[in-house]
Structure 1
Amino acid sequence: MDLDAIVVIALGGNLAGDFVSSEALLEAAVAKLVEAELPIVARSGWWRSAAWPDPSAPEYRNGVVLVEAKRGPEALLNTLFQVEAAFRRVRLGKNAPRTLDLDLIAYGRLVSGDPRLTLPHPRAHERLFVMGPLAEIAPGWRHPVLGATAAELAATATVGTDARPVT
């Protein structure tokens, strides 16, 4: 697998919606990505972390998938929004509880400062709930700007430091 050409997508949520659990919802979201013709090359296990900024909200579940780039980044982002909508994602505000959040973390080595589509994701490298799952499946993946590997970024993450694999 050529990690310099791979697309990294983070999945997360803390509301199960119509599903028995957040993990079940995320599994269905992975299946929906495949249906949307996004071939998954690798996927992490699910990770758990406390809700923030309100730790009394349900815990988050997060994971990462690596997919082949079969469409451009803008079209891919639109597909991610469509998948979120299929799971009734409602954007109530920043850091609000949600059924599904899909973030385009990296699109190969592409760097973009476009406000609608900043690549790589501007804060993913700080988040253990993103870098931990990514390091699980692609520890040698290198951040297109920082040059650090997923494993190095997971070790130095400063946000969501309570994130751990679901056992």
Structure 2
Amino acid sequence: MAGAADLDEAVIVALGSNLAGGYASSEALLEAALAGFAQAGLPVVSRSSWWVSTAWPDPLKPEYRNGVVLVEAPLGPEETIRTLFNIEAQFGRRRGAANDSRTLDLDLIAFGRQVRTTPELTLPHPRAHERLFVMGPLAQVAPGWRHPVLGATAAELAARASVGRDAHPA
């Protein structure tokens, strides 16, 4: 487990899928996406287990699989988010309505302690702290990570998350 100083520099990416695309399952698709992170210049340092949650806001859609990884990101946040969008595209992601079903969703949750809003990116992710399917997996790999704005740890945020309360390890 990383120390507090290491977590101050953490680059955190959340992964999600509820459409398997050409894969046997969403978990298989997520594993394939993770396998390509290093090749894309984002080697994985640590990862959570996969979590299951009901689709939100429409629980009639397929269940989600979610997880969190800490990665090495030698480039800046804008280059990192563009790399994540390229990986999504390789796995058939089509951007449509918000919260719609998707093959692969990659969100840059935090880039060290940076706080910024640009047309491309908001850091830290503006809604991640509300979502158990993000904070639960993050608490698995970095329970002591502190939100750069709120100051609460990943474990504390997971305990009080209000969206995806049914999320649990698969």
Q: Quickly name the TM-score band, shorter chain normalised.
A: over 0.9
Structure 1 window deviating more from structure 2 (50-59 vs 97-106): it is: 50-59
CA root-mean-square deviation: 0.7
Deviation at 1:69, TM superposition (A): 2.4
Output the TM-score relative to the length of structure 1.
0.97
> 1-side partners of 2:108 and 2:134: how far apart?
11
Aligned to 1:35: 39
Alignment-mate amino acid for residue 116 of structure 2: S
Q: 1:88 aligns with which of 89, 92, 97?
A: 92
Task: Give the number of aligned pairs.
Answer: 166
Is the 8 Å Cα contact of residues 6 and 69 (structure 1) preserved in structure 2? no
Residue 123 (structure 1) aligns with: 127
- Name the CA distance, whole Å, in 1 between partners of 2:149 and 2:79: 23
Which has the larger displacement, 34-43 or 13-22? Answer: 34-43
Q: Deviations over 1:10-54 (max 9, x none)?
A: 000100000000000000010111211212110000000001121
The answer on 1:59 being equivalent to 2:63 is yes
* Secondary structure at the counterpart of residue 19 of structure 1: coil
Give structure 1 regions of 4+ aligned residues with deviation exceeding 2 angstroms: none
AA matched with 1:6: A
**Alignment partner, residue 153 of structure 2:** 149
Question: Is 2:51–2:169's contact at 8 Å kept on the other side of the alignment?
Answer: yes
Moved more, 65-74 or 102-111: 65-74
What is the Cα deviation at residue 153 of structure 1? 0.2
Unaligned runs of 5+ in 1: none
Cα distance between partner residues in 1 of 2:157 and 2:44: 23
Aligned counterparts of 2:80 and 2:62: Cα–Cα separation in 1: 29
Q: Which moved more, 1:140-149 or 1:114-123?
A: 114-123
Structure 2 stretches of 5 or more lacking a match? none
The aligned counterpart of 1:109 is 113
Question: Which whole-Å deviations, capped at 9, do the CAs of 1:99-156 have from their partners, x for residues lacking one?
Answer: 0000000000000022421000000000000000000010000000101000000000
Asked if residue 160 in structure 1 is aligned to residue 164 in structure 2, the reply is yes
In 2, the alpha carbon distance for the partners of 1:91 and 1:55 equals 20
AA partner of residue 134 (structure 2): V
SS of the residue corresponding to residue 41 of structure 2 reads coil
Name the residue aligned to 1:70. Answer: 74
In percent, how many aligned pairs have the same letter? 69
Q: TM-score by structure 2 length? A: 0.96
Give the aligned residue type for 2:51.
W
Offset from partner CA, 1:30-85 (integer Å, 9 cap, x none): 01112112121100000000011211111000000001221110000100000000
Q: Is the 8 A contact 2:47 2:70 kept in 1?
A: yes
